[in-house]
Every structure is written in C-alpha cells, then in structure tokens.
Amino acid sequence: MGMPLIGDKFPKLEVQTTQGMIKLPKDFKDSWFVLFSHPADFTPVCTTEFIAFQLRIDMFDDMNCELIGLSEDQVFSHLKWIEWISENFDVDIEFPVIADTGAVAKRLGLIHPAKGTNTVRSVFIVDPNGIIRAIIYYPQELGRNIDEILRAVEGLQTADDKEVAMPANWPCNEIIGKGLIIPAAADIETAVERPLKYKCFDWWLCYRNYYKW
C-alpha cells in the first residue's frame, strides 16, 4: 500500500503510547484528531513544539480535537522526556505519544529520506469519520506553527458545518476578513442569482459574513 493521501481513510493501526495501547482511528471515532510526528525525543525544536501543543490543548479540546504525537523512540524515552519538560518548564504533557518501532512511520510515509530512522515533522488532521482532511510536512530545521494547525482544524470544521470555503489567511483575510466564500456556481441560473443573495466581487467570487449565517 502507498502512503495515505488527503481524502483517504486513516489506516487502521494499533499503537503503543505513553498512555497505553490505542487503536487508530477507532479510539477517536467521535472526535477529530491531529497526529504529529517529531524526529526524536530530547531535541531542541521538538521540545519547543511539544510545549506549544500542550499550551494550546484547551483550544484543541474546544474544537473536539485530540492530539497524539509520534517518533521512533521507546516508551521509556518518551516518558523521561515528558518528565524533563515538566521539571524544566512546568508544563505537563497530557496527550499520548506513540512509541514507534518504524512500522507506523513507514505506513504513513514519515521517514526522513536523508536522516535514516528519523521521522519528518508531519501533521495529519483526521475527522470523526476517520478521513484524512489535511497533511502538512515540515523539514527538521523548521518548527511548526501550532496556531496554523488550529486554524486548519477550525477552517475544516467550518467548511463542513456551513458548506463554504475559507480565503487566504482566514479569519484575517485582506479582502473579506472573516468572510466565508460561497461555492462556485455550477450553472447560469445560480450565477445570475449569486449577486442578489450574497456580497460579490463578481458572480464567481461571492461571500457572506461569518456571524450572520
């Protein structure tokens, strides 16, 4: 099997974590989840990322979205690193971290091509139906922007709920702010009606206000 793509079902996996065995995506069937891999425990950039994820965990919770980390380190290494973070930064990591033997990373296509067994900085956003909705990859030298991951989850949930699309830099777009883009018209009648129902720059670029849905 090839690596999973956007729109695919997340592969069925049983993984060992710092919080026991977890079945993916089954154990998260009633929620969204973000699975993110990091190159290795006890590394500088990864440490800053774990702290950043934890400091925003309430924001993910508010969106019914779970977090789960992953690297090719053993459970005792994860536990010791989590303990170190708590002792040195007073931040308790509450999300589970997968202790991968390599099988999960290979199945998801996470092995860094130039770094042996190290996993890339990847992000999989998965919906309650177990469908992969977004995949983001970062090189080892670039730490993730956790606020962008929050934005992606919120945007995908909004798209599902309101059947719309989000503009660039949403919710702070330079043209329409927090406005939501209406799907493109599929026929002449709809194209003619669009400017009468929504705010439009033209029939193919229409939007409505987020708060007046």
- Which residue in 8, 23, 150, 4 sits closest to 96, CA to CA? 23
Q: What is the dihedral of CA 121, 136, 94, 150, to 10 degrees?
A: 140
Q: What's the whole-number mean pLDDT along residues 138-155?
A: 95
What pLDDT is attached to residue 1? 59
Q: How confident is the model at residue 106 (pLDDT cuts 50, 70, 90)?
A: confident
What pLDDT is attached to residue 82? 98
Question: Would the pLDDT of 116 be above 70?
Answer: no
User: How far apart, in whole angstroms, are the C-alpha atoms of residue 168 and residue 107?
Assistant: 32
In the chain the domains, ranked by start, together with CATH numbers, are 13-144 (3.40.30.10), 163-213 (3.30.1020.10)
What pLDDT is attached to residue 112? 67
Average pLDDT of the chain is 93
Question: Would the pLDDT of 101 be above 90?
Answer: no
Whole-angstrom Cα Rg for the chain: 20
Percent of the chain with pLDDT over 70: 95
- Which residue in 97, 99, 38, 104 sits closest to 68, CA to CA? 97
Q: Is the pTM of this model over 0.85?
A: yes
The CA-atom distances, in angstroms, between 126 and each of 6, 16, 21, 50 are: 9, 19, 19, 19
- Which residue in 111, 29, 32, 30 sits closest to 70, CA to CA? 111
Question: Would the pLDDT of 156 be above 50?
Answer: yes
Question: Would the pLDDT of 140 be above 90?
Answer: no
Q: What's the whole-number mean pLDDT along residues 132-138?
A: 95
Q: What's the whole-number mean pLDDT along residues 149-175?
A: 96
Q: How confident is the model at residue 151 (pLDDT cuts 50, 70, 90)?
A: very high
What pLDDT is attached to residue 21? 97
Q: Which residue type is seen at 32?
A: W
Percent of the chain with pLDDT over 90: 81
Question: Would the pLDDT of 124 be above 70?
Answer: yes
Contacts of 88 (CB under 8 A, 6+ apart): none
User: How far apart, in whole angstroms, are the C-alpha atoms of residue 177 and residue 58?
Assistant: 25
Which residues are part of the catalytic machinery?
46
Q: Are 37 and 110 in contact (CB under 8 A)?
A: yes
